[in-house]
Structure 1
């Protein structure tokens, strides 16, 4: 099994069509079919189910797709790092991150760090918290930024920032003129929330916050990104609880208001190896912390 075979397999797995995959790879369809059959023969496993009308992945094929994407990414990173080393660049810092920290200084920290350390290339990998813990243990990332910090002793966690949740309402909502509301006032509204498998921490925090207010939220829609949550609120598809940062990054079509009473905060923690922390990772964390500022209400 070589990188060419993996590239061919990924193309077919993503297109689920040999003709489109062959065109994407600029090779003939018979040659592509031959290489995929050869790969299956080498592995002694069926990766694709084919008939005259469709192509689909077997369970084994889905597993290989995830691993092949990772191997091809690492191979490309190795190629770039080798070229950079030949040009005098000597290091790489791999960083895992959850989406919300993009709005709390991560891009600025990357620019500042690379200006101060031109011999180090930063590679960003978006993952949920559990995926980052696994990636850190496997050596796939040097530092991660996650939503929770209950990890094995081999991983050291450190809080980086914390902020309150706000209610995000459509501009035409009956409560859109309020600056502060009781969460119980949304008991009969449709909510927009992450699926639990995407972000168990945030999902459970928001559910618990609603239960503490005396109701179980009616989750009407699920999505994977904060930006999509807010966009769906703007389209009057429901209401949501979001980290306060978003009040300063997305305002069109929505209204943010504070929630009365105390409640769990939206937190981001940095995770590193407990016994062998990366010096570059520690330096990057220092840069990111220096960029943190209190979030203004701005409601």
Structure 2
């Protein structure tokens, strides 16, 4: 049986929203059409994917499994489309993703010098899309900050750097040489707590009845720093990020008892590209890494 990618996209849209009406709106199709497509997919797979009641739409165990498998499959299909389109245009380009605070220029320049006819481009990523841009083909290789979902990826460690608490300049902890993560237990964290599991495990606001944190959570570095400066809460970031975005109304303090942030290279594990292998070796050599080179 061949799985229809269009039906999979429709399924993912519903599964992510758990609402047929909102999914249909996002897909720009009529809700009855979407419902028919989902029923057709269930018939093809011989499995019920959703339980629908008057009050809610929920995934069945089969639906949960399909969602886990469908996302990387759709990303791979999109990556294939991008690479084929690039080849059809005759565009000889290599694209590198990078997270805020990381300087990738030396490795990019070295690859350009080795391949004068090659266009090497860079794409700034975020905590939310640093892995997705690799999976869907927007970049050939990415500098990522762990933790990330490593399924379908090859990961090569590059470096580690300390993590610091970013605080308003007049915060009670400002000026200290070092703090422990427990000192932030009563603070409002302005980022996804999964990015700082050490805080998540001891946070006062997550230990209240229900264990749910208030919204919103901010994603862009600039947005986080604006809200820190305004006194709305704190964030925990790698040292290089804070150093890059220096501003007088925000300060930072090293956190002694949490592990450093790990910076790695990540690329699609199914690809056997000599350029990816070469760039990974260049980047690692520039960091003094003597690990074996990846297979081309």
1:280 equivalent in structure 2: 275
For residue 72 of structure 1, what is the aligned residue in structure 2? Answer: 74
Counterpart in 2 of 1:159? 158
Q: CA deviation at 1:39?
A: 0.7
Deviations 1:224-248 (A, max 9, x none): 9583765664453555553211323
TM-score by length of 2: 0.61
Q: For residues 168 and 32 of structure 1, what CA distance do their matches in structure 2 show?
A: 45
Contact between 1:142 and 1:278, CA under 8 Å: does it hold in 2? no
CA contact (8 A) 1:92 1:121 kept: yes
| 1:233-272 aligned within 5 A | 233-239=228-234, 241-247=236-242, 248-249=244-245, 251=247, 253-257=249-253, 265-270=260-265
**Would you say the 8 A contact 2:127–2:219 is kept in 1?**
no
Contact preservation (8 Å) 1:166, 1:257: yes
Deviation at 1:49, TM superposition (A): 1.5
- Partner-residue secondary structure (3-state), 1:251: coil
Say which of 37, 41, 52 aligns to 1:39.
41
Q: Give TM-score scaled by structure 1 length.
A: 0.60
Counterpart secondary structure, 2:29:
coil
Q: 3-state SS of the aligned residue for 2:100?
A: helix
Question: How far off its partner does 1:40 sit?
Answer: 0.5
* Distance (whole Å) between structure 2 residues aligned to residue 81 and residue 273 of structure 1: 13
Distance 1:272 1:3 in 2: 23
The structure-2 alpha-carbon separation of the partners of 1:39 and 1:256, relative to structure 1 and needing over 3 Å to count, comes to same
1:87 is matched with: 89
User: In proportion to residue count, which structure has more helix?
Assistant: 1
In structure 2, how many angstroms separate the alpha carbons of the residues matched to 1:143 and 1:91?
A: 15
Residue among 157, 168, 171 paired with 1:170: 168
The answer (yes or no) to whether the contact 1:193–1:219 under 8 Å persists in 2 is: no
SS at match of 1:166: strand
1:36-185 matched pairs, under 5 angstroms? 36-89=38-91, 101-106=99-104, 118=118, 145-147=144-146, 157-160=156-159, 162-176=160-174, 178=175, 180-183=176-179
Structure 1 unaligned spans of 5+: 136-140, 208-215, 293-299
- Alignment partners' CA distance in 1, 2:84 and 2:181: 58
**Structure 2: stretches of 5+ with no match in the other structure:** 207-212, 288-296
Aligned to 2:15: 13
* Partner of residue 209, structure 2: none
Return the alpha-carbon distance in structure 2 between the equivalents of residues 80 and 273 of structure 1: 14
Cα separation, partners in 2 of 1:217 and 1:249, compared to 1, 3 Å: same
Question: 1:159: how far off?
Answer: 3.2
- From 28, 31, 35, the equivalent of 1:29 is 31
- Please give the alpha-carbon distance, in whole angstroms, between the structure 1 residues aligned to 2:117 and 2:52: 50
- Cα distance in 2, alignment partners of residues 240 and 262 from structure 1: 16
CA RMSD between the two structures: 5.0
Q: How many Å apart are 1:18 and its aligned residue?
A: 2.9
User: Equivalent residue of 2:231, what SS?
Assistant: coil
Q: How far apart are 1:70 and its partner, in Å?
A: 2.4
Aligned in 2, Cα 1:239/1:44: closer, same or farther, shift over 3 Å? same
Q: Deviations over 1:91-137 (max 9, x none)?
A: 87787x7xxx4321258966986896647788998789xx99xx9xx
User: Do the aligned partners of residues 13 and 272 (structure 1) sit closer, same or farther apart at CA in structure 2, a change above 3 Å counting?
Assistant: closer
Q: Distance in 2 between matches of 1:107 and 1:195?
A: 29
Offset of residue 37 of structure 1: 0.7
Change (3 A) 1:13 1:252: farther
Count of matched residue positions in the alignment of Structure 1 and Structure 2:
258
